């Protein structure tokens, strides 16, 4: 039995090339905006560092040090406001990203990139996709947090770490398997169910009801796709990282020269110097965001066309790329 996941690797390149070229800057910028919200690159999460060294001379082990008296009284309120703001920003980003999934796929299927038109047509389905992702991801997030708490809470409380470490190690395969299930469901929802939702103008659960009989009947094909998808994602991610790294170095050279000129002209300790450094930092961050989004455009285009082709090979009824259906 031939695996469709191996047969469509080259054909997806041809489709991506036809979609992206001849080069049109306005078209690429639209796609870059969509790619930015799709989060083609891996998302980072804030991490905390805990000092496990010895206690200060005036403190005994396990004693909680007093907070400096110079801390503002409303410190907790400030921290809570910052956390709430970041959570709200992440929520908005996730909602917009869910709608952009439909904008991107519909652009691929129609050959026309129109963010406004597809957004107005698919925002309701995007909200349902966001809700599904939230319900899917919340239990996995709670599992990971609980697993980490098994080890971190006893360490922070100064308890004997031997037993918690044992339970922590026992939880590794559970978290790993849960991660595989979460990753598979989330990926299949994004690359398979979303196109079916567009075709049938349906919700997420209805899309899964359409897809699930095919998954059960052709599970080997879908398993082959999952393995190939993982390899392609890792490979294209490395290529993207190299391209972004080269762009960062190329951008740092002129910005570094400008910073050196500013240092010798006004210094960094003055208001003018700090303003120059701040402007250069903002320019670098914005430029790297744009570069990263542009690099993601061909990668996401290729990967999504690849998934659409494999879906059509496994289930001809779901072939939206080669069919004459108008989306």
pLDDT at 231: 96
pTM: 0.84
State residue 117 phi and psi, 5-degree precision.
Answer: -65, -50
Query: How far apart are the two ends of the chain, measured CA to CA in Å?
Result: 32
pLDDT digits (tens, 9 = 90+) for 302-327: 999 999 999 999 999 999 998 755 44
pLDDT at 325: 54
Dihedral sign from CA coordinates of 294, 298, 299, 303: positive
Residue with tokens 């320019």: 283
Distance (Å, whole) CA 199 – CA 201: 6
Structural contact between residues 106 and 99, judged by C-beta atoms closer than 8 angstroms:
no
Q: Which two tokens stand for residue 54?
A: 């010895």
pLDDT at 80: 87
pLDDT at 174: 94
Distance (Å, whole) CA 185 – CA 137: 10
Structural contact between residues 28 and 20, judged by C-beta atoms closer than 8 angstroms:
yes
Mean pLDDT, consecutive 10-residue stretches, the chain (327 aa), reads: 88 96 95 89 34 42 48 74 92 96 96 95 97 96 92 78 82 94 96 97 96 96 96 96 96 90 78 85 95 96 97 95 65
């Amino acid at each position: 039995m031939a695996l469709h996941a191996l047969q469509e690797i080259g054909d997806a390149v041809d489709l991506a090339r036809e979609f992206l070229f001849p080069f049109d800057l306005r078209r690429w910028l639209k796609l870059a905006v969509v790619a930015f919200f799709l989060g083609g690159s891996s998302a980072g999460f804030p991490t905390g560092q805990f000092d496990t060294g010895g206690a200060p001379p005036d403190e005994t082990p396990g004693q909680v040090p007093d907070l400096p008296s110079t801390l503002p009284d409303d410190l907790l309120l400030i921290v809570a406001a910052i956390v709430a703001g970041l959570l709200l920003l992440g929520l908005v980003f996730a909602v917009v990203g869910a709608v952009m999934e439909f904008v991107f796929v519909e652009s691929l299927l129609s050959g026309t990139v129109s963010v406004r038109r597809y957004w107005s047509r698919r925002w309701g389905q995007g909200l349902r996709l966001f809700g599904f992702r939230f319900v899917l991801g919340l239990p996995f997030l709670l599992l990971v947090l609980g697993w980490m708490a098994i080890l971190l809470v006893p360490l922070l409380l100064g308890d004997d770490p031997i037993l918690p470490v044992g339970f922590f190690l026992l939880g590794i395969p559970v978290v790993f398997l849960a991660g595989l299930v979460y990753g598979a469901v989330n990926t299949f929802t994004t690359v398979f169910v979303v196109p079916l939702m567009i075709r049938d103008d349906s919700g997420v659960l209805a899309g899964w009801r359409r897809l699930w009989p095919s998954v059960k009947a052709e599970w080997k094909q879908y398993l082959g796709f999952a393995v190939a998808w993982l390899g392609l994602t890792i490979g294209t991610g490395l290529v993207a990282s190299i391209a972004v790294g080269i762009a960062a170095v190329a951008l740092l050279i002129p910005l570094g020269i400008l910073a050196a000129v500013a240092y010798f002209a006004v210094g960094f300790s003055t208001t003018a110097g700090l303003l120059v450094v701040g402007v250069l930092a903002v320019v670098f961050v914005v430029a790297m965001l744009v570069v990263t989004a542009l690099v993601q455009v061909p990668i996401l285009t290729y990967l999504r066309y690849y998934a659409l082709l494999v879906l059509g090979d496994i289930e001809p009824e779901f072939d939206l790329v080669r069919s004459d259906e108008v989306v």
